[in-house]
Structure 1
Amino acid sequence: MTTHTVYVLLGANLGDRAATLHRALEHIRTDLGPVLQQSALYETAAWGVTDQPVFLNQVLKVLSVFPPDEMLEKTQAIENRLGRIRRERWGSRVIDIDLLYVDQLVQQTDTLTLPHPFLHERRFTLVPLAEIAPDFVHPVFQKTNAQLLAECADTGEVSKWLG
């Protein structure tokens, strides 16, 4: 059985954000596989649609035996279980779970693009990602997460959440 190293981004800006991220982590541990590492929680400015509450974000490193399309199904089921309602793209949400990387896989289907197509443009993704995987090399750009963060043009506020 093939085991995959997966980097997952969690985000929430409605309700008890920290509790929701913790519940999402527990569901990921149960449904996807063991969580090997987790970043700190970061409070981040909204991206895309900026007129909304600030987010809490966290990146997890997970070991999973599932193929990427099944990982996506499982993470979307977790979002649904935690009360996610999809209203508008990049809008407010109780929970968002994004697959950032699955190993060094490069894939584009109707439902899933790997690596995540916007990860290199978003400080709220790169800051926690570079915290736990600074030397991981993006399979398309051939740059580390630390390099992508250093070159990122996004000026959105990202700061460690002190709770």
Structure 2
Amino acid sequence: MDVSSIVERINDLFNVTSKEIYSSESGITYYAEKNVKKLGYCVNLTLETIEEARIHGVDMLVTHHDAWDEIYGLKEACIEKLEEYGISHYYNHLPLDDCNFGTNDSLLKRLNIEIVKRTHEWEGLYFGRIAEYDKEIEFNELVKNLENLLEEPVRSWRFNDKKSEASGFSLW
């Protein structure tokens, strides 16, 4: 399959209200002119993830985040490696945060938490959620639930020793 067909299929999943905003938050970083036989996915585009893609024979890498502009030279270095290895790259950031099958909503559904409100709006895209459990739980229990689901340690900050009066929390 060619890169353009894959990108078109991904883009068709989203309700695009503004093509300008959508394309500023998703798109092709590098296009290698070859068919895609093996597709890889990860959260961040980094030199390490590109190397993993090369090791595993990936023709196209799809990520949530593009290379971070905040890290001087990373984006340019990633594009050079993608070109060297002949790996196409597509990312989809805020549209994936915003949609009902994306990062935020999927995590909350897996935790059996009801979404109360979409928050942190930017140009019509919402990248935050406020959600509630059916019954009140301890903060540490929420952290443990996240760690069990993600199979990773979670950084958390408790700002007081009181039991939570509300059963909601914010994710962004």
Relative contact order higher in (CA < 8 Å, ≥ 6 apart)? 1
Q: TM-score, normalised by structure 2?
A: 0.27
Which structure shows the bigger proportion of residues in helix conformation?
2
Q: TM-score, normalised by structure 1?
A: 0.28
